[in-house]
Amino acid sequence: MAATPNAALRAARTARLLSQDDLARALREAGCDSATKRLVQRWESGQTASPRPAHARALELVLGLPIETLGFGAVMATRDLGHEVRSPIGEIAEQQIAPTARPAPGTLAGIWLSRYEYYSDGRDATFTAAHHVVLLQHGTRLTVRSLPNSAASSLEMDLTIDGHIATGTWSEQTAAKGYYRGARYHGAVQLLAELTHTRLAGKWLGFGKRFEINTGPWELVLQDPSTAKATVDAYDRPPEGHGE
């Protein structure tokens, strides 16, 4: 039987403008020394239908999406960087503490509602932008990616969490046919995590169309702690009250 190509992985790679060589290089930089262009080709062609746990973790780190949504089934992959060790023969062995779809207790992984406010000079009004996002946590690193059908624009955040303070960067690709005509904006963000791990709140900083520095409130509210494909699919829609 012919292998079924992994269209989901290829789509996630090309959406980030990565070649197969680029993805392999990024995986190696994430600590997966055995990643090669040929390995990426085997995944995308369907020749290798299930990555090793170390590869699965690296794919999540680089692409910012749960492994199940990248065309693979549930893969046992630790979310604790401290549990990764080298075996005597040089292979990476990971303590399999939880499946990807069920984050370890105390992590921030899950589906979140992201909302931020911004002032538009051209329209002389304040607006709220909302996305459903998937948040993954690997050690102190948080990756946030908006679900493609939750808004006309696409949103990304890369954060580092220290205690209850998450600091990092954000970027947004606006809708090609929207008011900002496909412009890309980016900046810095700092958020405080509530003790319940169900809300992150803080402020963003970024530049405007007239090259001024703007700021505003930003919050993420947990909707579901699961990152299983069925959960991701269920939230791949505009948040209530924020549809087009």
pLDDT at site 14: 85
pLDDT at site 103: 41
pLDDT, mean over the chain: 84
pLDDT digits (tens, 9 = 90+) for 153-177: 999 999 999 999 999 999 999 998 8
Question: What structural domains does the chain harbor?
Answer: 7-94 (1.10.260), 110-234 (2.40.160.90)
Confidence class of residue 242 from pLDDT cuts 50, 70 and 90? confident
pLDDT at residue 95 is higher than 70: no
pLDDT at site 25: 94
pLDDT at site 1: 64
Mean pLDDT, residues 109-132 = 93
Confidence class of residue 11 from pLDDT cuts 50, 70 and 90? confident
pLDDT at site 90: 31
Confidence class of residue 75 from pLDDT cuts 50, 70 and 90? low
Task: Label residue 38 exposed, middle or buried (CB < 10 Å: 0-12, 13-18, 19+).
Answer: exposed
Are 146 and 133 in contact by the 8 Å Cβ rule? The answer is yes
Helix ranges (H only) for the chain are: 7-15, 20-29, 37-45, 53-63, 229-234
Mean pLDDT, residues 218-224 = 97
pLDDT at residue 219 is higher than 90: yes
Within a 10 A sphere around the Cβ of 96, how many other Cβ atoms?
12
Within a 10 A sphere around the Cβ of 138, how many other Cβ atoms?
19
Within a 10 A sphere around the Cβ of 161, how many other Cβ atoms?
19
Cβ-Cβ contacts under 8 Å for 209 (sequence gap 6 or more): 121, 122, 183
